[in-house]
Homo-oligomer: A and B are copies of this chain.
Amino acid sequence: MKEEKILSSVKDQQLIKVRREQIIKGAIKLFKEKGFHKTTTREIASESGFSIGTLYEYIRTKEDVLFLVCDSIHEQVRERIAQEIDLESPSVPNMMKAIRSYFYLMDEMQDEIVILYQEVKSLKKESRKHVLNSERDMVGIIENVINTCLEGKLSAQKVSLLANNIVVQGHMWGFRRWIMQKQFTLEAYMDEQLKMIEHAIK
Chain A residues close to B by CB (< 8 Å)? 35, 37, 114, 117-118, 121-122, 132, 135-136, 139, 157-158, 160-162, 164-165, 168-169, 172, 175-176, 178-180, 183-184, 188-189, 192-193, 196, 199-200, 202
| Pair A157/B183 contact, Cβ less than 8 Å | yes
Which 7 residue pairs of A and B lie closest in terms of their CB atoms, listed nearest first? A196-B200, A199-B199, A37-B37, A199-B200, A161-B192, A168-B172, A118-B118
| Pair B158/A192 contact, Cβ less than 8 Å | yes
Collect the chain B residues with CB atoms within 8 Å of residue A189's CB. Answer: 161
Q: How far is the CA of A184 from the CA of B162 in the complex (A)?
A: 13
Q: How far is the CA of A184 from the CA of B165 in the complex (A)?
A: 14
Collect the chain B residues with CB atoms within 8 Å of residue A180's CB. Answer: 164
Collect the chain B residues with CB atoms within 8 Å of residue A165's CB. Answer: 165, 169, 193, 196
| Shortest distance from the beta carbon of A192 to any chain B beta carbon, whole Å | 5
Q: How far is the CA of A202 from the CA of B164 in the complex (A)?
A: 22
Given the known inter-chain contacts A117-B118, A169-B165, A184-B161, please indicate yes or no for A132 contacting B179, CB distance below 8 A.
yes
Question: Closest residue of chain B to A183, judged by CB?
Answer: B160
